[in-house]
């Protein structure tokens, strides 16, 4: 405690956590009043009257969710994107997040600049600001645990359990690109072996390292969907979860699953299988069930908001089971239905 | 994806994360509707009209915040308690929390039972329920990152920056016990060397491993305090932060700082110093500034709610600096003012 009052307001580089907060984290909170410049114990969230708060938390850990040598900006982007993905699937508009970060050592200035640039780009893309957090040292790997907040008009959060037989099943974007991006990262020789071009490889790698959840779709999901969730652990596994939670059966017609041109090229070159693409995980797209009478409106709205949506199946009665079918309508058996973060690693 | 519908609802022990959630985490969410039995992507928080949400996040990491061989129930208790401590200091009533846990391996049943018992005891003590979370595997140490939610009547969150010259400074409970508990844990021979009795050692150890933030004090802080924060990194360091954030000076009269009988015994036996006690950290008590006209009411209310509060100093003008004084009124210089989680470890 300095007894010299002239020192009381000097920033002190030796303070570690506090200097980090003031220089790197606090600028990310500008414009969010309830963050109090990250100088208080807590943040204050005052959702507008008539709204409710939707909250989620997901962590990304080096060596589990991203490669230890990943670009720090991509780590930050992904940490926020995987949380925003959950909010979008619930029809919620993201507005704030908390970040609990565990650092193996005090990072250097260049690392911090890259990390915060990635975080800033993500929060601008997704429409939310840093409201608070916690910075710790860890003897383990870098870990970034984010809690994200969105709002919905009261009573309008889109649940997972509310799918009904007869509802049609849609996905946003394309499926399997991130799994291919991961495969390319693990096996760079794949590129030459399959004759993939630069642009395709960059796109696939980007889908794994900087996922782009379809933020503009949130309002369309809220307007039209009977149920929704995000696809993080593989389309098949997550579809199975949605059906089970709803106490329903369901069918996905695998040939209808939307693929990017790059994924089609890899598939054509024999570098992957449809099964790998629909069970690969890390898509961060929306899986939604739409009652038949709202399908036209959902498609129209999605087109207006610039988000690709594709009908891939239907919710059925529980006794019909949960199945994925091939072009002939036959059931496909999978060795694994998806990714288990608890068991797998990058 | 099972094509046999009879299997669709069977729990599958091989699922790892999902089985863990259903068996161990979901029971902790019972009674909190917005948790949806932990079967949805997000939780829904619907604060009553006229209230605002106070949120905080803090992580505890093995080898940094607790000993790797700590009792799992104590780890869970501490993970929640350190967050609730922040809410109480803001005058907020805790009601829900999210838990993001990273496990080095799939824990066995006995570990999980101890962990969830500790968490259940803590949430019952603090009046909150599990609303959601995230479970991951990590190549690093066990880490538990909690985000806790409390409510306050709109506009009544107690800030850190709003202390004013002339306000009197109070702390709850006693200071330095956790630091002694940590010292005893590091150096068990200290006990015999200083001739400490069983009950004292147990109390001190418990203050470190299962902190007891004064939950009943939240409403008194809200009713009377001009500013408040929790004491987590050492009384002196946190007081300095409070004064700086408020742009004020302040004085703590160290001989007034409340000590437990056990701490007095250790002090008398030469096992610690007053400086160690007021800079040791991990107290999880409340540091509050009370305008003089509200002091009598604050003391009366605290007595009614069964919480010890002690006046230890005063907020002064910025130009008077931030000082700690001894019995003669002389300024005390400290080698370190507190604990920096980023630099220190257990």
Q: How far apart are the first and last CA of chain A?
A: 46
Query: Would you place residue A345 in the very low, low, confident or very high pLDDT band (cuts 50, 70, 90)?
Result: low
A1 to B324: CB separation less than 8 angstroms, yes or no: yes
Give the closest residue to B93 by CA, choosing from B22, B13, B150.
Answer: B150
Q: Mean of the pLDDT values across residues B119-140? A: 96
CA distance B162 to B291: 11
Beta carbons within 10 angstroms of residue A220's beta carbon? 27
Contact residues on chain A for B230, CB-CB shorter than 8 A: 41
CA distance A156 to A120: 29
CA distance A19 to A35: 17
Burial of B97 (0-12, 13-18, 19+ CB in 10 A): buried
Q: If you measure CA to CA, which chain A residue comes closest to B286?
A: A41
Beta carbons within 10 angstroms of residue B181's beta carbon? 24
A59 to B102: CB separation less than 8 angstroms, yes or no: yes
CA distance A43 to A329: 53
The C-alpha angle B311, B314, B318, rounded to 5 degrees, equals 160
Would you say residue B14 has pLDDT above 80? Answer: no
Give the closest residue to B171 by CA, choosing from B338, B278, B311, B315.
Answer: B311
CA distance A283 to A230: 8
Give the closest residue to B308 by CA, choosing from B258, B266, B261, B274.
Answer: B258
Residues making up chain B, counted from first to last:
346
pLDDT digits (tens, 9 = 90+) for B94-106: 999 999 999 998 8
Q: With beta carbons less than 8 A apart as the criterion, state whether B178 and B283 touch.
A: yes
| 3-state SS, residue A16 | coil
Q: With beta carbons less than 8 A apart as the criterion, state whether B78 and B211 touch.
A: yes
Q: If you measure CA to CA, which chain A residue comes closest to B318?
A: A5
Sequence-distant (≥ 6) Cβ neighbours of residue B149 within 8 angstroms? B45, B53, B54, B55, B87, B94, B95, B96, B97, B128, B131
pLDDT digits (tens, 9 = 90+) for A282-335: 999 999 999 999 999 999 999 999 999 999 999 999 999 999 999 999 999 887
pLDDT at position B277: 96
Looking at this predicted complex, what is its ipTM? Answer: 0.91
Residue A149, beta-bridge partner list: A55, A96
Contact residues on chain B for A239, CB-CB shorter than 8 A: 1
| 3-state SS, residue B57 | strand
Contact residues on chain A for B133, CB-CB shorter than 8 A: 57
CA distance B270 to chain A (A): 24
Contact residues on chain B for A227, CB-CB shorter than 8 A: none
Q: Say what the alpha-carbon torsion angle B128, B130, B131, B137 is, to the nearest 10 degrees.
A: 150
Contact residues on chain A for B135, CB-CB shorter than 8 A: 342
Distances in Å between the Cα of B306 and the Cα atoms of B224, B248, B283 are 16, 31, 18
pLDDT digits (tens, 9 = 90+) for A58-77: 999 999 999 999 999 999 99
Q: With beta carbons less than 8 A apart as the criterion, state whether B178 and B208 touch.
A: yes
Sequence-distant (≥ 6) Cβ neighbours of residue A189 within 8 angstroms? none
CA distance B208 to B333: 26
CA distance A156 to A227: 11
A56 to B64: CB separation less than 8 angstroms, yes or no: no
Whole-number percent of chain A with pLDDT over 70: 93
Residue B289, beta-bridge partner list: B169, B227
pLDDT at position A9: 31
Query: Would you place residue B6 in the very low, low, confident or very high pLDDT band (cuts 50, 70, 90)?
Result: very low
Report the half-sphere exposure of A61 (CA within 13 A, side-chain side).
Answer: 27
Sequence-distant (≥ 6) Cβ neighbours of residue B7 within 8 angstroms? none
As a whole number of Å, the CA-based R_g of chain A is 22
**β A285-290/A93-103 pair status:** unpaired
pLDDT at position B141: 97
Q: With beta carbons less than 8 A apart as the criterion, state whether B3 and A333 touch.
A: yes
B137 to A4: CB separation less than 8 angstroms, yes or no: no
Query: Would you place residue B18 in the very low, low, confident or very high pLDDT band (cuts 50, 70, 90)?
Result: confident
Give the closest residue to B20 by CA, choosing from B103, B87, B129, B78.
Answer: B103
Sequence-distant (≥ 6) Cβ neighbours of residue B174 within 8 angstroms? B258, B259, B260, B263, B285, B308
Q: Per mean pLDDT, which range of B35-44, B206-215, B333-342 is the poorest?
A: B333-342
Q: Mean of the pLDDT values across residues A107-133? A: 97
Q: Per mean pLDDT, which range of A336-340, B23-27, B212-216 is the poorest?
A: A336-340
Alpha helices in chain A (DSSP H): 17-20, 72-89, 109-126, 177-186, 189-194, 198-209, 218-224, 235-246, 261-268, 274-279, 295-304
Q: Mean of the pLDDT values across residues A99-112? A: 94
B8 to A322: CB separation less than 8 angstroms, yes or no: yes
CA distance A126 to A123: 5
Burial of B337 (0-12, 13-18, 19+ CB in 10 A): buried
Would you say residue B327 has pLDDT above 80? Answer: yes
DSSP readout, A80-143? HHHHHHHHHHTT-EEEEEEEEEEESS---HHHHHHHHHHHHHHHHHHT-EEEEEEEEE-SS--E
Query: Would you place residue B339 in the very low, low, confident or very high pLDDT band (cuts 50, 70, 90)?
Result: low
Sequence-distant (≥ 6) Cβ neighbours of residue A160 within 8 angstroms? A227, A228, A229, A241, A242, A245, A246, B36, B39, B40, B41
Region of B281 on the Ramachandran plot (φ > 0 left; ψ -120 to 50 alpha; else beta): left
Q: Which of B53, B157, B318 sits opposite A53 (nearest CB)?
A: B53
pLDDT digits (tens, 9 = 90+) for A243-265: 999 999 999 999 999 999 999 99
Whole-number percent of chain B with pLDDT over 70: 93
pLDDT digits (tens, 9 = 90+) for A161-201: 999 999 999 999 999 999 999 999 999 999 999 999 999 99
B1 to A87: CB separation less than 8 angstroms, yes or no: no
Sequence-distant (≥ 6) Cβ neighbours of residue B14 within 8 angstroms? none
Residue B314, beta-bridge partner list: B168, B251
Residues making up chain A, counted from first to last:
346
pLDDT at position B90: 98
A3 to B154: CB separation less than 8 angstroms, yes or no: no
A342 to B318: CB separation less than 8 angstroms, yes or no: no
Residue B252, beta-bridge partner list: B313, B324
Q: With beta carbons less than 8 A apart as the criterion, state whether A59 and A188 touch.
A: no
């Amino acid at each position: 405690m300095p007894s010299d009052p002239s020192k009381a307001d000097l920033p002190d580089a030796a303070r570690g956590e506090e200097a980090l907060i003031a220089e790197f984290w606090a600028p990310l909170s500008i414009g969010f009043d309830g963050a109090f410049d990250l100088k208080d114990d807590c943040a204050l969230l005052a959702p507008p009257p008539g709204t409710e708060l939707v909250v989620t938390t997901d962590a990304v850990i080096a060596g589990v969710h991203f490669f230890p040598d990943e670009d720090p900006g991509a780590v930050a982007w992904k940490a926020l994107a995987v949380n925003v993905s959950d909010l979008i699937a619930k029809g919620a508009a993201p507005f704030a997040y908390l970040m609990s970060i565990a650092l193996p050592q005090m990072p250097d200035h260049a690392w911090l600049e890259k990390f915060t640039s990635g975080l800033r780009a993500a929060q601008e893309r997704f429409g939310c600001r840093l409201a608070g957090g916690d910075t710790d040292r860890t003897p383990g790997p870098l870990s970034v645990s984010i809690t994200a907040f969105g709002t919905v008009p009261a009573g309008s959060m889109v649940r997972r359990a509310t799918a009904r037989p007869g509802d049609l099943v849609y996905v946003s974007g394309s499926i399997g690109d991130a799994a291919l991006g991961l495969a390319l990262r693990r096996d760079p020789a794949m590129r030459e072996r399959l004759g993939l071009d630069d642009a395709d490889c960059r796109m696939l790698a980007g889908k794994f390292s900087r996922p782009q959840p379809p933020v503009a779709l949130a309002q369309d999901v809220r307007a039209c969907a009977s149920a929704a969730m995000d696809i993080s652990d593989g389309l098949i596994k997550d579809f199975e979860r949605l059906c089970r939670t709803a106490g329903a059966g369901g069918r996905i017609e695998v040939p209808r699953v939307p693929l990017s041109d790059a994924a089609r090229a890899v598939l054509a070159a024999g570098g992957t299988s449809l099964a790998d693409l629909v069970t690969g995980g890390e898509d961060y797209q929306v899986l939604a069930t739409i009652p038949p009478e709202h399908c036209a409106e959902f498609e129209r709205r999605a087109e207006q908001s610039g988000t690709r949506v594709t009908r891939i199946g239907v919710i059925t009665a529980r006794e019909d089971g949960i199945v994925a079918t091939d072009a002939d309508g036959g059931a496909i058996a999978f060795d694994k239905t998806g990714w288990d973060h608890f068991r797998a690693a990058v």
